[in-house]
Amino acid sequence: MFSGLQTMPRTDADLAAQALIEEGSFRFPFFSASDAVTLGLSLRKRFRLSSRHNKGKGLVISVQTIAGHTLFSCTVGDLGHVSGVGDVSLDSWACLEDIMNVVKQTGHSSFYVEKGMSALGKTAKQMGMQNESRVSGGAFPIWLENAHCCPIAVIACYSGSSNDDHNLTVTTIKDFLRKLSREATTDRHTETPAQSVMTTSSILPTIPRHHEYGSVSHTSEPGIPESEYRGGSEYSRGASPYEQMMQRGEHDDHLDDHSTER
């Protein structure tokens, strides 16, 4: 009888499918030379804290543009020691260049290509790889979110362990993108729009000033002198002689004069 459930080992096809999902998930909103240095240093720091480094294992790291320009490179460990034992083998950089070329030729991570070839039972030559390139995990394409034609750069590390190198690269990229996402969220919460704070004067409407000239009311407008309103407008009517007489209080005097003459 079974004492418990045992996890079935993952096949090469499963690992290739997982690597393909990672490629589609880990896309960069932007990428600069400074980001390449940050990624490279993060990869170096993470490896130095690992048990592999504590056991004396070495690593070589490189970040290049898709055209081949080196943005970052370093070695973690020694190429050789007086005892004849080195943390990094003499062909480590050549192997690193090979797996980076796999990404440049295919647009996929070297781990995906390796496991896909194994699942199909194909060799590098049968898959059309140039110069019989070494295919091993550790190199990963850097894609931009808004550019789907080809990767913009490649980040890679090599220590001789395909699975460990791939996991180290992917974990470093994932943490880097999470940090970018947190920083973007913080910036959105802290920034204050220029028009978010409104003063009382911007809320209350401006009350126009009115001036009485005769029987017509005029409103002062910005940029127009008040003297222009004194003559009235084409729509205003001046006071008639009778209205002017009434305003001066002469109406009763005229009535008295007419009654006296009669």
Specify the pLDDT at position 215. Answer: 46
Residue 47 in this model has a pLDDT that exceeds 90: yes
Please list, in sequence order, all residues whose beta carbon lies within 8 angstroms of the beta carbon of residue 113, skipping any fewer than 6 positions away: 102, 106, 127, 135
Compute the C-alpha angle 187/30/142, nearest 5°. 135
Please list, in sequence order, all residues whose beta carbon lies within 8 angstroms of the beta carbon of residue 52, skipping any fewer than 6 positions away: 159, 161, 164
Residue-wise pLDDT for 16-44, tens only, equals 999 999 999 999 999 999 999 999 999 99
At 163, the pLDDT band (50, 70, 90 cuts) reads: very high
Helix, strand, coil abundance in the chain, percent, nearest 5: 45, 15, 40
Residue-wise pLDDT for 187-209, tens only, equals 776 765 554 444 444 444 555 55
Residues of the chain with CATH 3.30.450.150: 12-181
Residue with tokens 């804290």: 49
Specify the pLDDT at position 186. Answer: 78
- Nearest to residue 43, comparing CAs of 179, 181, 173? 173
Secondary structure class of 13 (helix, strand, coil): helix
d(C-alpha 53, C-alpha 48), whole Å: 6
Write the class of the CATH domain 12-181.
Answer: alpha beta
Secondary structure class of 72 (helix, strand, coil): strand
